[in-house]
Amino acid sequence: MTEKVALIGSGNWGSAVAKIVGGNVQKFDHFQNEVKMWVYEEQIDGQNLTDIINAKHENVKYLPGIKLPENIVACPDLVKTCEDATMLVFVVPHQFVVNVCRQLKGKISPKCKAISLIKGVDVEENDNGFQLITDMIQDSLGIRACMLSGANIATEVAEERFCETTIGYRNKEDGELFKQIFNTSTFRVNIVEDVVGVELCGALKNIIAIGGGLVDGLKLGDNTKAAIIRIGLYEMRKFSKMFYADVKDETFFESCGVADLVTTCAGGRNRKVAEAHVTTGKSFDQLEKEMLGGQKLQGTSTAKDMYGILSKKGLLKEFPLMTTIYRICYEDLPPIRIVEDI
């Protein structure tokens, strides 16, 4: 059977991924050459962004300076992008997923498989208190969804600097098919039978990155920071296994686990703002406005979501690091408590 890939999203990460996928589908006979990419239409100097991308083969707004393969075709219509596809790559901001799925419902092939590249979970009034993005896609569209997550900064990936990533699958054939469209010599894909583990790593690491930044601000040194990373990885694993018994330990040794956590605690906006919280004494809210130019701080909001869930279930004491990070962010606890309270 011939597979046809569609990309849903064209931001910084979506465009970096388009470069890889566009190249890879040409290497195999069982993929159709054309890959449509849904672009939320906007005007750049009076021109449609889709027209610029299709003429210049470059996303001049979100990934300037990087050439996209010519078989990537920008399309402003979501349904037209996806209607003849068999493999959907979700790479839109977290808050758009519900609406995207609503528009696609009933319009896609029943043979479709999906993969989510979206980090984060949704707080919901279900048993767990939250919902995974892959579950939202599966439930609303009735198709199986994989998850891709790893230590991947879009620009570094687009510049072909070596890194790794992890694909979690439920059905091994799906995992191997998606591996074919993503794996390159500089973007190394490992597949694991654990969608949920991969997905929760991507969400929870941002909380721990706040901890890493606090330690940096307190100038406690490399050993303390390594301890926070280790305890963070432990709590991420414990949390995931407590809510989903099938999550595998092995997943946390993959790029989505230890590697992404290490990178996020070394760079990234969560770490940076937390460090500034210690050195300036300003609140996270204020620093978010001052330092991030409209971007949102995921670590604090995820910490709040998880705190709410753990609190409701009486589990706060079992997660001292996540709990303490929440309290430092939202209850004015002095930052030094990150090492005193855990």
Is the CB of 129 or the CB of 268 nearer to its own copies? 268
The residue written with tokens 């465009």 in the block is 15
User: Can residue 220 be called a binding residue for its own copies (CB under 8 A)?
Assistant: yes
Task: Measure the CA–CA gap between 62 and 184, rounded to whole angstroms.
Answer: 22
Q: If 0-12 CB within 10 Å is exposed, 13-18 middle and 19+ buried, where does residue 20 land?
A: buried
Active site residue: 4, 179, 205, 225, which one? Answer: 205
Q: If 0-12 CB within 10 Å is exposed, 13-18 middle and 19+ buried, where does residue 27 land?
A: exposed
Reported residue count of the chain is: 342
Residues near its own copies (CB under 8 A), total: 41
Helix (H) or strand (E) holding 8: strand 5-8
Q: How far apart are the first and last CA of the chain?
A: 54
Binding range to its own copies, per CB under 8 A, among 121-129, 193-201, 253-261, 278-286: 253-261
Provide the mask over 263-292, with x wherever binding to its own copies is found by CB under 8 A and - wherever it is not: x--xx-------------------------
Compute the least distance from the CB of residue 130 to its own copies, in Å: 24
Amino acid residing at 209: A
- Answer yes or no: is 12 a known binding residue: yes
Helix (H) or strand (E) holding 238: helix 222-243
User: Can residue 259 be called a binding residue for its own copies (CB under 8 A)?
Assistant: yes
- Answer yes or no: is 95 a known binding residue: no
Task: Measure the CA–CA gap between 342 and 335, rounded to whole angstroms.
Answer: 12
Contact between 193 and 166 under an 8 Å Cβ cutoff? The reply is: no
User: Can residue 188 be called a binding residue for its own copies (CB under 8 A)?
Assistant: yes
Compute the least distance from the CB of residue 212 to its own copies, in Å: 10
For the segment 122-181, give every residue that binds its own copies (CB under 8 A): 151-153, 156-157, 161-164
Provide the mask over 84-123, with x wherever binding to its own copies is found by CB under 8 A and - wherever it is not: ----------------------------------------
DSSP class of residue 67 equals: P
Compute the least distance from the CB of residue 253 to its own copies, in Å: 6
User: Can residue 253 be called a binding residue for its own copies (CB under 8 A)?
Assistant: yes
Contact between 238 and 202 under an 8 Å Cβ cutoff? The reply is: no
User: Within a 10 A sphere around the Cβ of 260, how many other Cβ atoms?
Assistant: 26
Q: What tokens does 53 get?
A: 């991308």
Q: Is 205 a catalytic residue?
A: yes
- Answer yes or no: is 270 a known binding residue: yes
Amino acid residing at 314: G
Compute the least distance from the CB of residue 300 to its own copies, in Å: 21
User: Can residue 221 be called a binding residue for its own copies (CB under 8 A)?
Assistant: yes
Is the CB of 65 or the CB of 221 nearer to its own copies? 221
Catalytic residues: 205
Q: Which residues bind its own copies (CB under 8 A)?
A: 151-153, 156-157, 161-164, 185-186, 188, 220-227, 229-231, 233-234, 237, 249-250, 252-255, 258-260, 262-263, 266-267, 339-340
